[in-house]
A and B are shown apart, each in its own frame.
Chain A
Amino acid sequence: MGIDHPGYVNNSMYAQLFKCLPLIIAGIAQAQAAVSDDDCKGMSDDCVAVGKWNFSVALGAGIRSNPLATGANIPLVVIPQFSYYGKRFFINDLDLGFTLAENTANTFSLVASPGYDRVFFYRSDLQNIFIGGLPGNPGPAAFVVRAAAGSTQTPVRFPPRARHFTYLAGPEWTFKLSGVSGQIDVLHDVTDQNNGTEIRAALGIPLVESKGSLTASAGITWKSAAIVNYYYGAAGIYEAGSALNPFIKLGYTLPLAGKWRFSAFAEYERLGNAIANSPIVEERFVATAFVGAIYTF
């Protein structure tokens, strides 16, 4: 991608941006403080009861590819999901959040979310439980050994090391305009593992809304060099820059009898050069597909 840069990148600009954003959001929140959301009158696709836990489980067949050279694909069979919404606080699977302000179209929150890339290194990662069913082999992937792309050097051993569970936190803006939903998160590692920054942004566009609904989504994930190197780099062997991963997704849901609904989706994520060029990465994309049914308790 055009904004990938080889080598470490000074993150000070992003750090400054990150420091300013809470202030901006706080200002928005102040302005919006008097605005209470009153367009949610009952349960709907868009609204949820305050103070109530929500549980569901997806059962089906699916797979997420693993781009690591030694990585096994991740099966999607049983996918539990849960959420809780307080007046402002919310839990959404492994994400936590606090809503600063919201109105009919916009929501500003502070959120905390697990670092994503660890799922490729550890089948026991919690995100694999909530995405892919029961954990399998534990431990870091054994490492391998091809030279970096374009290199004429002989392959070198990529030393195995731990990638710890991390949490990223920061402001989130979500919105819905004319049926199109959007999400922008600016997150920073708060677990002091890599001190990296990640930006997640996406748009969800409804294509068909009749008995079933077909939605297309497109977005990006930008990872700072600190995050990319934490997962895909090795000092003296491969030092990466930041990476931009774009993705597209197509999802379909259809209500079935009772509390069941049919669900199918396919997602293609292209890995930025800084990740794809790592010696431990074999494929420059992550493909995910799932077909099954979701039961809501």
Chain B
Amino acid sequence: MTRRAAVPAFVLAALLCGTQRSAVAATEPEGHDIRLELSPRICTLAADDKQCNTWVHASWQSPHEESLCLVIVDRPEVKRCWENYSEGTYNIELVFTDDLIFQLKDLDLRRVLASEALRVIKAAIHYRHKRRQPWNLFD
């Protein structure tokens, strides 16, 4: 009984694995050889901070010459393009409150060649009631 049950389970697992792989491959950037790096990669907001305000250094490298553009998702004003280069760097000062996704795309901005995220980590802020003190002079 155990063996008979194990065989269909294995087949099912293999099928599921294959399905997941296909799904991952569909969303992966197409330029596997192109490496995109960001610095910093994380912005940590303290309890008092409302937003990140920092210079970001983006750099990319490829074993081949590429024609591509660096963009940030939902930031159409940011776009830097290179034609027939194997590497490039870009520095920009950004103000943001949530994660930023940097992407290298082809010149038509259709295919994503590489992608990297600049994460925002918000310190957990807890709140509690202020002391209510109508007896005191200033309250």
Spell out A's residues near B (CB within 8 Å): 37, 40-43, 45-52, 58, 79, 81, 83, 85, 87, 90, 92, 95, 97, 99, 102, 107, 109, 131, 174-176, 181-183, 185, 200-204, 217, 219, 221, 249, 251, 263, 265, 267, 288
Contacts and interface: CB of A to CB of B under 8 A. Distances in A.
Interface in B85-139: 125-135, 137-139
Nearest to B127: A40
A204 B131 CA distance: 13
Contact of B132 (A81, A83, A175, A265): A175
Contacts, number: 89
A10 B91 CA distance: 78
Given A49-B47, A79-B138, A90 B131 contact: yes
Interface of B: 47-48, 125-135, 137-139
B interface majority secondary structure = loop
Contacts of A40: 127-129
Given A249-B137, A288-B137, 8 more contacts: A37-B128, A47-B129, A48-B130, A49-B127, A79-B138, A102-B128, A181-B134, A251-B139
Contact of B129 (A102, A185, A219): A102
B134 to A, nearest CB: 3
Contact of A267 (B48, B125, B133, B137): B137
Given A51-B47, A182-B132, A41 B138 contact: no
Nearest to B126: A50
Given A174-B133, A181-B132, A204-B132, A81 B138 contact: yes
Nearest to B139: A204
A183 B134 contact: yes
